A and B are shown apart, each in its own frame.
Chain A
Amino acid sequence: GAVVSQHPSRVICKSGTSVKIECRSLDFQATTMFWYRQFPKQSLMLMATSNEGSKATYEQGVEKDKFLINHASLTLSTLTVTSAHPEDSSFYICSADGLAGGRSSYNEQFFGPGTRLTVL
């Protein structure tokens, strides 16, 4: 299957700082990527859909000024958590759309390994 990477895998930061998380599709071009947030022992919550060359589409209740998404190339999307606070601590997972990237004939998403963010 298609490979998606995330960097960093873990990050610890102080409250008030900004953190950038990268999501890369390694062997296909992903025109659409998704960002999820997962709290301990809970399911994945879609935060936003990242579209190459255009603005991200945020889900209801997600602050777009808090969670900045940039999809400047066909293989890279970044999520920046601005002015992070302890309540932003979570597991962030990205995925790439296989249909949009020509790797699948239907809406299959390929997931990255996730980034554990801890805000002190």
Chain B
Amino acid sequence: AQSVTQLGSHVSVSEGALVLLRCNYSSSVPPYLFWYVQYPNQGLQLLLKYTSAATLVKGINGFEAEFKKSETSFHLTKPSAHMSDAAEYFCAVSFGNEKLTFGTGTRLTIIP
């Protein structure tokens, strides 16, 4: 069965510092991988997605993620954190036509 693990339920970084949010998946077949962001009391907004094209994926708001098959990882990064990046981030995985499976989420706090 497919699964996704997000390491660290809470991450705090200083404004201007590197943001790194970790996501690992388990799968026996190539996955589709997604990162979503959720602001308080709002739905999910797609940040970026990996669909078996380039392994380094660039998304919105300066975020990017790299698919590493050898490490079964799809970590999300941003070189310089902004106060507006404070939110909940979800990694999700799907295989072919199967439904999405979400990670448990990581709450990102930005320290002024």
Per-position binary interface string of chain A over residues 101-114, scored 1 when its CB falls under 8 Å from any chain B CB and 0 otherwise = 00001111111111
User: Do the beta carbons of A107 and B98 come within 8 Å of each other?
Assistant: yes
Complex CA distance for A41 and B49, rounded to whole angstroms: 23
Complex CA distance for A23 and B34, rounded to whole angstroms: 22
Q: How far is the CB of A33 from chain B (nearest CB, A)?
A: 12
A interface residues (Cβ-Cβ under 8 A, vs B): 1, 4, 6, 34, 41-44, 46, 49, 91, 93, 95, 99, 105-114, 116
Complex CA distance for A45 and B49, rounded to whole angstroms: 20
User: Do the beta carbons of A111 and B44 come within 8 Å of each other?
Assistant: yes
User: Do the beta carbons of A111 and B43 come within 8 Å of each other?
Assistant: yes
Q: Supply 13 further A-B pairs (C-beta < 8 A) apart from A43-B90, A107-B94, A109-B100.
A: A6-B43, A34-B100, A42-B104, A42-B105, A44-B102, A46-B100, A95-B44, A107-B32, A108-B34, A111-B43, A111-B44, A113-B42, A114-B41
Complex CA distance for A34 and B43, rounded to whole angstroms: 13
Q: How far is the CB of A60 from chain B (nearest CB, A)?
A: 13
Selected from B43, B105, B107, the residue in CB contact (under 8 A) with A114 is B43
- Known contacts A111-B45, A112-B43, A113-B43: A43-B104 contact under CB 8 Å: yes
Complex CA distance for A108 and B93, rounded to whole angstroms: 10
- Known contacts A108-B49, A111-B43, A116-B41: A44-B99 contact under CB 8 Å: no
